[in-house]
Structure 1
Amino acid sequence: ELLPSFSSEGWVYSVRVPGGLFHASAKARGGLVRAAVSVRGSIIQAAYITGDFFAYPPTLVNELEARLKGVPLERRAVEAAVEEGLRGGGVMLGVEPSLVAAVVMEAAGKVRFTSLGLTPEEADALIEVLRPAEYVLPRASHVLLPYCAKPLDCELRWSEGCELCGRCSFKEVYEEAWRLGLEPITITSYEHLEETLRSIKEGGGEAWLGSCCEAFYEKHVEDFERLGLPGLIVATEGLTCYDLGLERVAHEGRYEGSSKLRDGLLLKLLRLAASMRLKGPCAKLEVDLGA
């Protein structure tokens, strides 16, 4: 009888935490697990866990959150805190403790991006696909942008290219990508995304930069894993097709709504990628969190 409550949108998407947090999510057999983490120095100030998984007793999530408070930002310490929280007989059906710890670490790990001049909000908008940003940035060869961020009346909205008319932020991103040696491509459907990632991989590409909404990534995380090409995603802003219940239309490339690129952040990442490429594939970000 608790399952409908834990599966409801009110629980899954509940806003229970203040702003200024770093977020991450992961899929488990038992459902989606989300973490929102506040970090100060190398200590977790607070961690908040939500999702559509089943947890019992009802106080279990609160117990986990309490155990994580004040824990050093180290994987073993976080795993130990989660295991301790479950030791009293608590159950998260289909969710391994190691996955909860990994989601918390992924969220908290975004703090390292602030050392590069990114704001906390910009750092939180990054989603690492398969490998850390340290791996992806010096190896990225393509920039994949969503068609839904082009103007509704753009003649090339459903085209890979851009006529550089300057009516939207695509012009600056395309030009900067070309200038720095990356190939920009507008992705026009989910099938086009798969084809593009396969083509990049078969052509010897090692990684990519891109942009999409967080909901799209969460829905297709297994597909990204199956395709096997590491990437770094900048989450878009604004209402999404998922918010409007139009994801099927968008999947087919027929969505007539509009999202917004975080073009300033994309430009920063393009320049950072070029800088790291000059230093070689072993270049590291300035802050390296302990495993």
Structure 2
Amino acid sequence: MVLDSGLQSGPANNAIDRHYLDLHAQGACPDQLRFYRSLPSASVGRHQIIDRELRIDYCRSNDIALVRRLSGGGAIYLDPRQLGWSLILKRPHTWRQLGLEQLLALFSRALAKGLKRLGISARYAYPNDLEIEGRKIATLFAASEAESLLLQGTLLLDADIRTMLEALRVPTEKLSPDGLSAARERLITVKECLGKIPDLEKIQAAIIHGLSTGLRLQFGGRTKGSGAHIPQCDALAEESAAAHQIDWREDRTSALESLWKTPGGTLRARAVFDGEGKRIEWIEIGGDIHLDPGDLLCKLQRALQGLPIAHTQQCMVDFFRDNGVDTLGFGAQDVVRLLHILLDKLSLRRDVQLSSKQLNALMIYSQQAVSARQILNQASVMLVPYCAKPAWCKWRTRDGCTECGLCEVGEAYRLARERGMQVTTVTHYEHLVATLSDMKARDVGAYIGMCCSSFFIKRHRAFLQAGMPALLMDISGSNCYELKQEELAYAGQFQAQAQLDTEVLHQVIKFVPRAG
């Protein structure tokens, strides 16, 4: 059966998907393909922390609805310029052994066949996109309930790039492999490919052809408008509430946070420990990740709460083994690493005079799970971002500092000099890559540095390729990501000034041995 529910609000489209997936899992409705479009909406994946992914205040002030999908993955912006569809079907016997990665690849290639009929040549890009010469034109997601599959997709007919970047807490670097191209150069639309947007029925027919031939499915006739379930007010209210199921704006002053970047997305955790630091009282895990079944993180959280810390690692390994978890681009060891970082900060809290908020500003990177204390004990280099120097400083875009005492950078240089550390002001992105490469060649054991968390996540490849353990301190104030000026920043031309937290620096650098 093929439905066309037309233009609906984001919460309504979510509610429709939820309604039909529940019915289908109960055997109460047939397989179906539904086409739709959305009024302006910001949609987060099932496991994402909403305030880390969306500019909530901007969305509310501009009547952009907030929704949480049934499927995982990253945040997307939806509006009438996109065509969406949801395919609900019983998992065919031939798909029983297919994991999320294989399903998304199969779904993407089927869609590519359909677009070919329109004269658009797109290719599957891991993990869940369709691209044309590196430019994204469609995104796909998957979820399941019992034996029922929900395969979702959105096709860019046209794009409102400005609103997209304002609504999503996604800098243009996220949309650009080299961080230097504009977001418009990372996306491509049907209109740009064909010079116009074909009639929607023609586009739908192409998609139906691709899905039917690529997935070997048969679709019946179409039903428009009233053929689709129209959600009631209470269902819409539930969808709006569900959007905030994972929202870290809630005040938990003692909670410690960690993040760990994986090929499948960024994992995040937040936890509260008992007064003696021996048990987990409460924990929440999320991220822009794909996993199946979708409720497994909630089950894992329940398994960890109240558990002695000494038993947590084995608990997670056993949980992933016993529950048949299907993950895309990450595994049990990544979640273990995420918890290790939390426990590392818990250990640091006993010896430093820092609040949980300040500890949460520390980003620990180590492929070998080296602790923060070990990193600091081995650190011989400090990297400082040029954007922390005042705009009027003649040394702002140069490596070096006169330690004049008029900004925090001078204090960082002084503290590093006392410990015989090499200090480098990173003046642009290519300079960072070259500096890390030189450090790796000199067998630098570890280093400390400062950067915003957005940079750490989006440019993680540079830290990964360097391979050296690092303790990085988040910077505050005017950063290029919030101001959406990261292209200027990467080129060394950002004008605003960020701030270093010298209190945090004083507390952590005391673990770095003094020179001599």
Question: If the TM-score is normalised by the length of the shorter chain, which range does it land in?
Answer: 0.7 to 0.9
- Does the 8 Å contact 1:11/1:51 carry over to 2? no
Unaligned runs of at least 5 residues, structure 1? 279-291
Please report how far the alpha carbon of residue 239 of structure 1 lies from its aligned counterpart in structure 2 after TM superposition. Answer: 4.5
Partner letter of residue 452 of structure 2? C
Partner letter of residue 127 of structure 1? M
Please report how far the alpha carbon of residue 205 of structure 1 lies from its aligned counterpart in structure 2 after TM superposition. Answer: 2.7
- Does the 8 Å contact 1:36/1:49 carry over to 2? yes
* Map of 2:486 onto structure 1: 247
Bigger fraction of residues in helix: 1
* Map of 1:10 onto structure 2: 50
* Map of 1:281 onto structure 2: none
* Map of 1:46 onto structure 2: 282
Please report how far the alpha carbon of residue 160 of structure 1 lies from its aligned counterpart in structure 2 after TM superposition. Answer: 0.9
Please report how far the alpha carbon of residue 166 of structure 1 lies from its aligned counterpart in structure 2 after TM superposition. Answer: 1.9
Q: In the aligned structure 1, how far is the partner of 2:323 from the partner of 2:435?
A: 48
* Map of 1:230 onto structure 2: 469
Partner letter of residue 110 of structure 1? K
Please report how far the alpha carbon of residue 214 of structure 1 lies from its aligned counterpart in structure 2 after TM superposition. Answer: 1.3
- 253 and 15 in structure 1: CA distance in 2 versus 1, 3 angstrom threshold: farther
Kindly indicate whether residue 510 of structure 2 is the aligned counterpart of residue 261 of structure 1.
no
Unaligned runs of at least 5 residues, structure 2? 1-16, 19-42, 54-245
* Map of 2:392 onto structure 1: 153
**Which string of whole-angstrom CA distances, capped at 9 and with x for unpartnered residues, describes residues 130-179 of structure 1?**
23223222222221111111112222111111122222111222122212
**2:420 aligned counterpart, secondary structure:** coil
**Which string of whole-angstrom CA distances, capped at 9 and with x for unpartnered residues, describes residues 269-290 of structure 1?**
3332125x77xxxxxxxxxxxx
Alignment of 1:202-241 (within 5 A): 202-241=441-480
Alignment of 1:64-213 (within 5 A): 64-74=300-310, 77-81=312-316, 83-84=318-319, 87-88=322-323, 91-119=326-354, 120-130=356-366, 131-213=370-452
**2:512 aligned counterpart, secondary structure:** helix
Report which of the two structures shows the higher radius of gyration computed on alpha carbons: 2
Partner letter of residue 309 of structure 2? L
Q: In the aligned structure 2, how far is the partner of 1:124 from the partner of 1:257?
A: 24
- Aligned-residue identity in percent: 27
Kindly indicate whether residue 298 of structure 2 is the aligned counterpart of residue 62 of structure 1.
yes
Partner letter of residue 227 of structure 1? A
Corresponding pairs, count? 276
- Does the 8 Å contact 1:144/1:184 carry over to 2? yes
Partner letter of residue 10 of structure 1? I
Please report how far the alpha carbon of residue 89 of structure 1 lies from its aligned counterpart in structure 2 after TM superposition. Answer: 5.6
Q: In the aligned structure 2, how far is the partner of 1:92 from the partner of 1:48?
A: 18
- 167 and 108 in structure 1: CA distance in 2 versus 1, 3 angstrom threshold: same
- 71 and 178 in structure 1: CA distance in 2 versus 1, 3 angstrom threshold: same
Partner letter of residue 365 of structure 2? V
Q: In the aligned structure 2, how far is the partner of 1:180 from the partner of 1:243?
A: 34
Please say which of residues 86-95 and 174-183 is displaced more in the overlay. Answer: 86-95
**2:424 aligned counterpart, secondary structure:** strand
Please report how far the alpha carbon of residue 203 of structure 1 lies from its aligned counterpart in structure 2 after TM superposition. Answer: 3.2
TM-score, with normalisation over the residues of structure 1?
0.82
- 12 and 30 in structure 1: CA distance in 2 versus 1, 3 angstrom threshold: farther
CA-atom RMSD in angstroms: 2.8
- 56 and 269 in structure 1: CA distance in 2 versus 1, 3 angstrom threshold: same
> Where does structure 1 differ by over 6 angstroms across 4 or more consecutive aligned residues?
none
**2:383 aligned counterpart, secondary structure:** strand
- The structure whose RCO (Cα within 8 Å, separation 6+) is larger is 1
* Map of 1:35 onto structure 2: 269
TM-score, with normalisation over the residues of structure 2?
0.49
- Does the 8 Å contact 2:395/2:401 carry over to 1? yes
* Map of 1:289 onto structure 2: none
- Does the 8 Å contact 1:12/1:52 carry over to 2? no
**1:80 aligned counterpart, secondary structure:** helix
- Does the 8 Å contact 1:11/1:50 carry over to 2? no
Q: In the aligned structure 1, how far is the partner of 2:51 from the partner of 2:330?
A: 17
Partner letter of residue 258 of structure 1? Q
Q: In the aligned structure 2, how far is the partner of 1:58 from the partner of 1:134?
A: 36
